[in-house]
Amino acid sequence: MPTISNMPDSVIEFTNLIKKFAFQSQKTFKEFLPALIKGEETSKGFIALDEVSFNITKGETVGIIGPNGSGKSTILKLIAGVMSATTGKVKVHGSISPLIELGAGMHPELTGRENIYLNGAILGLKRRQIDAQLQSIIDFSEIAQFIDQPVKHYSSGMYMRLAFAIAVHVDPEILIVDEILAVGDETFQAKCFKRMEEFKQKGVTIIFVSHSLAQVQNFCSRAIYINKSKLIADGTTLEVCNAYLNNQ
């Protein structure tokens, strides 16, 4: 699909992006030094993304689909700035909130309340913002009576609720969601999707990785299909989902 770069409202641009992982053949320094001296190979290459290019404009909701190991998460990490391109360019304009894992950085010994501050800070919230929204976060999570218990005592459901409650209170221009909506019971999932719809209305650009074609079709206007490190299809959700199904 032809891409027009330097579009005024293009918020994410991948241009001929190649991501190659160089896995070290030796895991310890003790192994590395003799290997270096002997002239053995010290790294193995693995191409995670091969010449991927696409352009996402402000306010779009884009789904990324593909089999496991195809490179979807790598794309998200490149957008989030966690990884860097090997060659090619990644341009991102706007603040990002990565929901690549819920509860990143939470410490089991700290209470729910303390973890709200910690996790919020990790997601880029300033202290003032967390203070202002603290009650709203606690209410959304529905675990107010346990909020002052250490999170090591939480069930995984409670943990996830807290983490998601914090995550939905960020105020990003770009939201990246990686398969985390697969957890949680029906009512909570519904609440989360409702919140995501609100983000959509606000004009937040949303990148949504999911294995559930149904979720992608419901929620996204556009989709990108990645398989074995290559971009196979990029277009409306219907077209791309069909391409995916035809490839199975």
Name the segment binding another protein (CB under 8 A); options: 94-102, 161-169, 185-193, 201-209: 94-102
Contacting residue, 50, 51, 114, 171, with another protein by CB under 8 A: 114
**Subset of 19-78 contacting another protein (CB under 8 A):** 21-22, 24, 26-30, 32, 77
Among 81, 94, 157, 203, binds another protein (CB under 8 A): 81
DSSP assignment letter at 174 = E
Position 88 contacts another protein (CB under 8 A)? no
H-run or E-run covering 196: helix 186-202
Q: Which of 208, 204, 200 is nearest to 240 (CA)?
A: 208
Contact call for residue 183 and another protein (CB under 8 A): no
Residue 144 has what DSSP assignment? Answer: G
Minimal CA–CA distance to 236: which of 39, 63, 105? 63
CB closer to another protein out of 109 and 186: 109
Q: Could you tell me the smallest distance in angstroms from the CB atom of residue 5 to another protein?
A: 23
Stretch that binds another protein, among 6-14, 18-26, 221-229, 239-247 (CB under 8 A): 18-26
The dihedral built from the CA positions of residue 101, 106, 108 and 114, taken in this order, carries a sign that is: negative
- Binding test (CB under 8 A) with another protein, winner from 96, 165, 233, 240: 96
CB 174 within 8 A of CB 208: no
Options 52, 64, 65, 83; binder of another protein; rule CB under 8 A: 83
Kindly report the number of other CB atoms within 10 A of residue 133's CB atom: 21
CB-wise, 66 or 98, nearer to another protein? 98
Total number of residues shown for the chain = 248
Residue 205 backbone zone (phi > 0: left; psi -120 to 50: alpha; other: beta)? beta
Q: CB-wise, 154 or 225, nearer to another protein? A: 154
Give the CA distances from residue 219 to residues 47, 180, 200, 209, 236, in Å, rounded to whole numbers and listed in that order: 30, 15, 9, 11, 12
CA distance 128 to 156: 28
User: How many chain residues bind another protein (CB under 8 A)?
Assistant: 35
The verdict on 123 binding another protein (CB under 8 A) reads: yes
Among the listed residues 44, 89, 93, 107, the single contact to another protein using CB under 8 A:
107
**CA 227 vs CA 53, 54, 173, 181, 233: distances in Å:** 14, 15, 28, 22, 9
| Binds another protein by CB under 8 A, chosen from 18, 121, 213, 243 | 121
Smallest distance from the beta carbon of 176 to another protein, in angstroms?
A: 10
Distance CA 178, CA 182 (A): 9
Query: Contact residues for another protein (CB under 8 A)?
Result: 21-22, 24, 26-30, 32, 77, 80-84, 96, 98, 100-101, 104-105, 107, 109-110, 114, 117-118, 121-127, 150
